[in-house]
Amino acid sequence: MTERIVLDCDPGHDDALAMILAAGDPRVELLAVTTCAGNQTLPKVTRNALAVCAVAGIEVPVAAGAVGPLVRPQMVAPEIHGESGLDGPVLPEATLELDPRHAVDVIIDVVMAAEPGTVTLVPTGPLTNIALAMRKEPAIVERVKRVVLMGGSYTRGNKTPTAEFNIAADPEAASAVFSAPWPVTMVGLDLTHQATADADVVARIEAIGSPLSSFVVDVLEFFGSTYREQQGFTDGPPVHDLCCVAWLCDPEVFTTQEAFVAVELTGTWTNGMTVTDFAGLFGRPNNTDVAITLDKPRLWDMTVDAIASLSARTEGAVR
Ligand code: BDR
Ligand code: CA
């Protein structure tokens, strides 16, 4: 059975890879792409989403959403993703028109039009759009199959010692998403730091020899350079967001463990921390499947296959 998904993202190098896998793997059906301010401002990440659609031949509704977080001042990440939010590759002109609806309405429309329990939400940026959609149409909570989000960590953060960027950027929205009674999978840094795009992966992608594969190589090279400089990743950048889509293609790609997860909103030093209680110490029911261990070869095999398959589909792409 194919997993039908809405990808809510802030492209973003790893968001771009998530889009490409979602479009190129037959086990997932990409229903819509929605954007949220995060790695860069909303106009920039939306432009980037449309550029990825152009290069990968993706033809689904793309809608722009929240311009900033629910409560806190905006945070962007030029030190990782550059001034455009997707520095490195030449970005093609958009071939799709932006959907005139707000992202929140696209999320609601897709979920409410589908059979209950058949649509999975995949947020790979701050959770602002998802929280706003829940508030605008609470009925989505019981109709969504699952939320598979990239964010958080049960060990260390990357924005602060305890907070990961997507959660730190809009902790109130994240708290609403974790607290709602829908199944949540947290694909946090503990998992995604295992998903590095090493030199052999880049070489395999380059060998496909298409405009799309060259684009992906440029994406990974820029992302690799900032991760090397900023966070000391010498073996390639961790392609966080890709892991969410990969798990929906094949649940064997990582293991999970149940826990109660709460987002810290009032800590002196710990705002945005995903406090993860595996041992039931708070006496609260588990609300999250937490990603633990990655099968890295499986992740990159399916990603290389998806790039090759999209390359074959796009006009004159394979040389
Ligand atoms: C997350 O933050 C962003 O920089 C990435 O796109 C990813 O979603 C990693 O902390
Ligand atoms: Ca992202």
Residue 274 beta carbon below 6 angstroms from any ligand 1 atom: no
CATH number of 3-318: 3.90.245.10
Residue 87 beta carbon below 6 angstroms from any ligand 1 atom: no
Tell me, in angstroms, the distance from the centre of ligand 2 to residue 7's CA: 10
Query: What is the rounded distance in angstroms from the CA atom of residue 22 to the CA atom of residue 184?
Result: 19
Q: What is the pLDDT of residue 314?
A: 83
Residue 102: active-site member = no
Task: Find where tokens 């290069």 sit.
Answer: 55
Burial 108-137 (b: 16+ CB within 10 A, else e): bbbbeebeeeebbbbbbbbbbbbbbbbeeb
Q: What is the pLDDT of residue 288?
A: 98
Task: Find where tokens 């039009």 sit.
Answer: 113
Residues whose CB is under 5 A from ligand 2 (ion)?
10, 12, 15, 124-125, 241
Q: What is the pLDDT of residue 39?
A: 98
Query: What is the rounded distance in angstroms from the CA atom of residue 80 to the CA atom of residue 241?
Result: 14
Q: What is the pLDDT of residue 315?
A: 61
Tell me, in angstroms, the distance from the centre of ligand 2 to residue 283's CA: 32
Q: Work out which ligand 1 atom sits closest to the CA atom of 77.
A: 4
pLDDT in tens, 103-130: 999 999 999 999 999 999 999 999 999 9
Q: Which of 13, 81, 102, 240 is catalytic?
A: 240
φ, ψ for residue 271 (rounded to 5)? Answer: -55, 135
What percent helix, strand, coil does the chain show, rounded to 5?
40, 20, 40
Q: Work out which ligand 1 atom sits closest to the CA atom of 81.
A: 4
Tell me, in angstroms, the distance from the centre of ligand 1 to residue 219's CA: 14
Q: Work out which ligand 1 atom sits closest to the CA atom of 192.
A: 9
Q: What is the pLDDT of residue 252?
A: 98
Q: What is the pLDDT of residue 220?
A: 98
Residues of the chain with pLDDT under 50: 316-319
Q: What is the pLDDT of residue 317?
A: 42
Residue 215 beta carbon below 6 angstroms from any ligand 1 atom: no
Q: What is the pTM of this model?
A: 0.98
